[in-house]
Amino acid sequence: MIDQLLRAAALDSKAWPFEEARKLLERVKGKKHPMKEVLFETGYGPSGLPHIGTFGEVARTSMVRHAFETMSDIPTRLLCFSDDMDGLRKVPDNIPNKEMVVQHLGHKLTTIPDPFGKYESFGHHNNAMLRRFLDAYGFQYEFASATDYYTSGRFDKALLRALACYDEIMAIMLPSLREERSQTYSPFLPVHPESGVVMQVPIESRDVEAGTIVWRDPQSGKTYETLVTGGNCKLQWKPDWAMRWHALDVDYEMSGKDLIDSVKLASRICKVLGSPPPDGFNYELFLDEKGQKISKSKGNGLTIDEWLTYAGPESLQLFMYSKPREAKKLYFDVIPRAVDDYQAFLDAYGRQDLAQKLANPVWHIHQGSPPAPEVLVTQQDGRTQVVSFALLLNLVAVANAESKDVLWAFLKRYAPQVSPETHPRLDAMVGYAIRYFQDFVKPQKKYRQATSDERQALEDLSAALGRLPKEATSEQIQQAVYDIGRRDPYKTVQKDGSVGVSLAWFNTLYQVLLGEEKGPRFGSFAALYGIDNTRALIGKALKGDLG
RNA sequence: GGGCCCGUAGCUCAGUGGCAGAGCAUCUGACUUUUAAUCAGAGGGUCGAUGGUUCGAAUCCAUCCGGGCUCACCA
């Protein structure tokens, strides 16, 4: 049972998943008979591995689905439909055994041997990759294979209907095609009974009663009569989409804006077949840092794995939630912001009223039950403080942290009661920050070469550190740093007449040893980093191995 | 040519009818033995332009200017 207050707030919310869900509510009202279920569909072309757009589509559809479930008691299903009966047109770059796969161009993906050698076919392999990936995120969905649906006869009735509507479908499709293509176009693609190739050939005649089409093999000149049912024929893409909507009663499917015209055509065909086309909307495409569309074939932009190398899945979900109708650049630089925005939303959630909560992305990311934020410290006035990713990146850069231990030592100094056990998500974020630092920050660092004076001072510092006991405190180390610095040109005279050390000495340390303009208190750094490590760092800097 | 998106501070962007905001950057001050995951403060905008609706417009409508993406092969 859905709480009535929650339902009322959902019906009133302006957050986009609720706006979408209300469209579905209108659709339900428009039906004469009470609907048994509402079906959501996402499509997947398994000629390659799942990419970040696939993730976005499933994530966003799931958000609409959950919003709808908050508004209505009608059951819902999400069908992830894989078009694995498609003929392979191009051999993907990122697979092994390409020379084997190239022998099977034009064949159904589910009849091509798996180049990875693990599954029944290439199509099965890619389907398995999709499912593994969707399962990893805990998406609730049902998987559907086009090959299964076609061969099992599940589409037969709709296919015969499409055959009966052949002229109307052609009348819709032909004006959208160029002259040359329209000569050979057919909505039905017969599977060649001998070669297994999915044929793109004109239909010479058809028999609606028998449920067959007649076509000619352009190479042999031989004609064939093929059943449109039972998996002997596949539909060309756009009519296929329409037939599927009709056959399965799909209520909701979203797609990228590059498919706007295709959705229009398929919707018209769907109506001809006798069904209302699904609701949905066209989301904007993701761009790479240069503003170009991200596509599988180009291999530009970010992959899911790359995102998950530097941040958790929640931040990626937030990115997918935000502004689906705006083209957004998707590359490494957006990750820290997404992580920190996610934390800010999570932190705010507990303080918000119901209407605000429903407009908060974390409500949609976590199906209405976001986890509690991991608070680092609670201040006297009750305000809480969480560690931002930006902060961690800064810390990891100046501390030259290469392991979680070093970073945790800094964190614990600030909040002693916090540990990886009490704050597992923070611990994960520490790991992400270190990777981000290693891959993006460290290569950008500019280590200055030591001058001969500086070289002498650094050698003396290393020697002084070597004389300290292993368990020397940060204060003792800091004292040693000062003692070494009390020499020309760093020596200064303090107001009280004592000898001090100028800023230049510390700047030298950071520029030469850490490649930074600023840094942490050096004694603290050396104590946490380890005296031996610090001496090794000095040694490397003097040998010129850092820059 | 059709469609879609964008234009708000130096930069990146929030902000869908009610006093123009955040982060970063810049500047000032305090504090620490002179080093900052410190604290306090400041400067900085004709919200692309014009017209309209409204008591009230960055926000809604129309037109225009500028920038960009996408489709018109295949999926």
Whether the predicted pLDDT of A257 surpasses 90: no
Among A76-80, A98-102, A178-182, the least confident range: A178-182
Is strand B within 7 Å of residue A300 (CB)?
Answer: no
Record the tokens describing residue A329, joined without a space: 């650049």
For residue A232, what pLDDT band results from cuts at 50, 70 and 90? very high
Preceding omega of A489 cis (within 30 degrees of 0): yes
DSSP state of A437: I
User: How many Å apart are A449 CA and B26 C1'?
Assistant: 29
Question: Are A144 and A131 a contacting pair, CB within 8 Å?
Answer: no
Least confident of A66-70, A77-81, A140-144, A372-376: A372-376
Tell me how far apart the alpha carbons of residues A262 and A280 are, in angstroms, rounded to a whole number: 13
The integer distance in angstroms from the CA atom of A299 to the C1' atom of B62 is 42
Structure tokens at A338: 């997404």
> Is the CB of residue A519 inside 7 Å of nucleic acid strand B?
yes
> Is the distance from CB of A436 to CB of A394 less than 8 angstroms?
no
Interval A519-528: pLDDT, tens: 666 776 777 6
Residues 308-347 of A with CB within 7 A of strand B = 323, 325-327, 329, 337
DSSP A254: -
User: What proportion of chain A, given as a percentage, has pLDDT over 90?
Assistant: 35
At residue A151, the pLDDT reads 96
Burial letters A175-214, b for 16+ CB under 10 A, else e: eeeeeeeeeebbbbbbbbeeeebbbebebeebeeeebbbe
CA of A262, C1' of B70: distance in angstroms = 13
Q: Which of residues 83-102 of A touch strand B (CB under 7 A)?
A: 83, 86, 89
**What ipTM score was computed for the predicted complex, to two decimals?**
0.80
Q: What is the mean pLDDT of residues A435-450?
A: 75
Question: What is the C-alpha to C-alpha distance for residues A407 and A385, in angstroms, rounded to an integer?
Answer: 18
Are A39 and A249 in contact by the 8 Å Cβ rule? The answer is yes
Q: Work out the average pLDDT over A452-460.
A: 84
Could you tell me if A513 and A413 are in contact, meaning their C-beta atoms sit under 8 angstroms apart?
A: no
Å separating the CA of residue A126 from the C1' of nucleotide B5: 33
pLDDT band at A128; cut points 50, 70, 90: very high
> Would the pLDDT of A380 be above 70?
no
Residue A514: how many other CB atoms lie within 10 Å: 22
Mean pLDDT on A69-93: 91
In the structure, how far is the CA atom of residue A359 from the C1' atom of nucleotide B15, in angstroms? 14
**pTM summary value:** 0.85
Q: pLDDT band for A377, please (50, 70, 90 cuts).
A: low
Question: Which residues 377-416 of A interface with strand B at a CB distance below 7 A?
Answer: 387, 390-391, 394-395, 398, 410-411, 413-415
Residue pLDDT, tens place only, A31-52: 766 678 999 999 988 877 778 8
For residue A329, give the 3-state DSSP assignment: strand
For the beta sheet containing A212-216, the strands, ordered from the edge strand earlier in sequence to the opposite edge, are A203-207, A212-216, A223-227
Task: Quote the CA–CA distance of A518 and A445 in Å, as a whole number.
Answer: 12
| pLDDT tens per residue, range A303-346 | 788 888 888 888 889 889 888 888 887 877 788 888 888 887 88
**What's the pLDDT score for residue A517?**
64
Which nucleotide is nearest to A412 if distance is taken from CA to C1'?
Answer: B37
Which nucleotide C1' is nearest A376 CA?
B37
CA of A475 to C1' of B32 (A): 14
3-state secondary structure of A100: helix
Nucleotides of B under 7 A from a protein CB: 2-6, 12-14, 16, 23-24, 33-37, 68-75
pLDDT tens readout for residues A110-120:
999 999 999 99
Mean pLDDT over the full length of chain A: 84
Task: Report DSSP letters for A160-201, one per residue.
Answer: HHHHHTHHHHHHHHGGGS-HHHHHH--SEEEBPTTT-BB---
